[in-house]
């Protein structure tokens, strides 16, 4: 087994493309390198430059490899959401030009009010109908086919609270309907836990589709507090639901065992969702997160 370790601008508070008061990308890239990482994701659309020579220079001078991007794609609307679809295609073009092998796809987040409000409390009746899942899967398959045929990459679907792909049964609904040659899973253990699932069970069930990792901690005790007061994703972030690795309740040894059984060989991106202004020293957290993976898991 070999897990290549990267991180991403989200660990410096760059959550979405409209998140205010984020640090400049030069500072983030400098600190990614200082923290001991050799790879990074692109960050939200428009954060790192899409000018390929400039992007290549920025990364090469720091000895960093671009590995993927957390990319928003409207599962249910597909091409019908023109702006989101165009941005996803542009992101795929940049990743391909930089030699990436995977693009991470997340459903649009927080646009459906009841879903956004019920983060971590999604019931089956809150989910899409069977016909809607058929449509969502067809849209994801169609985009994944373009990504493979035109850009030579594969898509890894990312469960994330606040979108339609959040719970374990929603992961099942999408992966059961999509082409296993085109669409895999970005295994984000923290979002699976926040969504009420068991990350070890999900990884075990979908080990053949787990092509890419988002390595993130979830504190189940904080999660219960936030869910109990019906807080949303941002309440969860502010309340420390996503602490440093090893400071929560994720079963890291269980995950490590299954990855060894899979003989996993690929990239894992360390993420610690924070918001600017919380007083968290992102660089020091990134260093401790990297040390945890090396010392506790041998990654």
pLDDT tier at 111 (50, 70, 90 boundaries)? confident
The answer, yes or no, to whether residue 198 has pLDDT greater than 90, is yes
Task: Write down the residue that tokens 């957390």 correspond to.
Answer: 70
Q: How far apart are CA 242 and CA 186, in angstroms?
A: 17
Mean pLDDT rounded to a whole number for the chain: 97
In the chain, the percentage of residues whose pLDDT exceeds 70 is: 100
Asked if 183 and 140 count as a contact pair (C-beta separation under 8 A), the reply is: yes
pTM: 0.97
* For range 127-155, the mean pLDDT: 98
Count of structural domains within the chain: 1
**Radius of gyration for the alpha carbons in the chain, expressed in angstroms and rounded:** 18
| The pair of three-digit structure tokens given for residue 256, joined into one six-digit string | 């490590």
| The pair of three-digit structure tokens given for residue 267, joined into one six-digit string | 């990239």
The model's pLDDT over 250-291, given as tens digits with 9 standing for 90+, comes to 999 999 999 999 999 999 999 999 999 889 999 999 999 999
Q: How far apart are CA 188 and CA 269, in angstroms?
A: 9
Q: Return the closest-CA partner of residue 1 out of 270, 268, 271, 179.
A: 268
What is the domain range of residue 250? 2-297
Which residues partner with 7 through β-bridges? 40, 270
The answer, yes or no, to whether residue 67 has pLDDT greater than 90, is yes
How many helices and strands (H and E) does the chain possess?
A: 12, 9
Q: Return the closest-CA partner of residue 199 out of 260, 268, 258.
A: 258
CATH of the domain at 120: 3.20.20.150
Residue-level pLDDT at 75: 98
Q: Return the closest-CA partner of residue 214 out of 133, 289, 118.
A: 289
Residue-level pLDDT at 252: 98
The model's pLDDT over 32-55, given as tens digits with 9 standing for 90+, comes to 999 999 999 999 999 999 999 999
**Does residue 5 sit in helix, strand or coil?**
strand
Cβ-in-10-Å burial (0-12, 13-18, 19+) of 111 comes to middle
Q: Return the closest-CA partner of residue 74 out of 119, 39, 34, 109.
A: 109
């Amino acid at each position: 087994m070999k897990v290549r370790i990267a991180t991403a601008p989200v660990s410096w508070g760059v959550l979405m493309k409209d998140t205010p008061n984020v640090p400049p990308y030069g500072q983030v890239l400098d600190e990614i390198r200082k923290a001991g990482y050799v790879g990074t994701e692109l960050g939200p659309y428009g954060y790192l430059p899409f000018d390929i020579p400039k992007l290549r220079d920025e990364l090469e001078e720091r000895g960093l490899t671009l590995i993927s991007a957390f990319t928003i794609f409207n599962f249910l609307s597909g091409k019908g959401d023109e702006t989101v679809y165009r941005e996803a295609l542009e992101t795929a073009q940049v990743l391909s030009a930089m030699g990436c092998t995977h693009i991470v796809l997340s459903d649009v987040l927080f646009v459906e009010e009841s879903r956004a409000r019920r983060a971590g409390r999604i019931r089956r009746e809150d989910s899409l109908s069977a016909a809607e899942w058929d449509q969502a899967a067809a849209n994801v398959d169609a985009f994944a086919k373009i990504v493979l045929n035109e850009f030579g990459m594969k898509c890894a679907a990312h469960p994330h609270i606040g979108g339609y792909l959040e719970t374990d049964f929603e992961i099942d609904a999408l992966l059961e309907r999509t082409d296993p040659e085109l669409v895999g899973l970005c295994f984000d253990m923290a979002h699976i836990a926040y969504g009420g699932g068991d990350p070890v069970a999900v990884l075990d069930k979908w080990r053949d589709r787990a092509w890419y990792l988002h390595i993130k901690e979830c504190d189940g005790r904080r999660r219960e507090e936030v869910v109990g007061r019906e807080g949303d994703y941002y309440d969860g972030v502010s309340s420390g639901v996503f602490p440093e690795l090893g400071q929560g309740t994720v079963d890291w040894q269980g995950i490590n065992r299954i990855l060894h059984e899979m003989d996993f060989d690929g990239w894992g991106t360390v993420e610690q969702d924070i918001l600017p202004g919380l007083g968290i020293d992102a660089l020091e957290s990134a260093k401790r997160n990297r040390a945890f993976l090396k010392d506790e898991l041998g990654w």
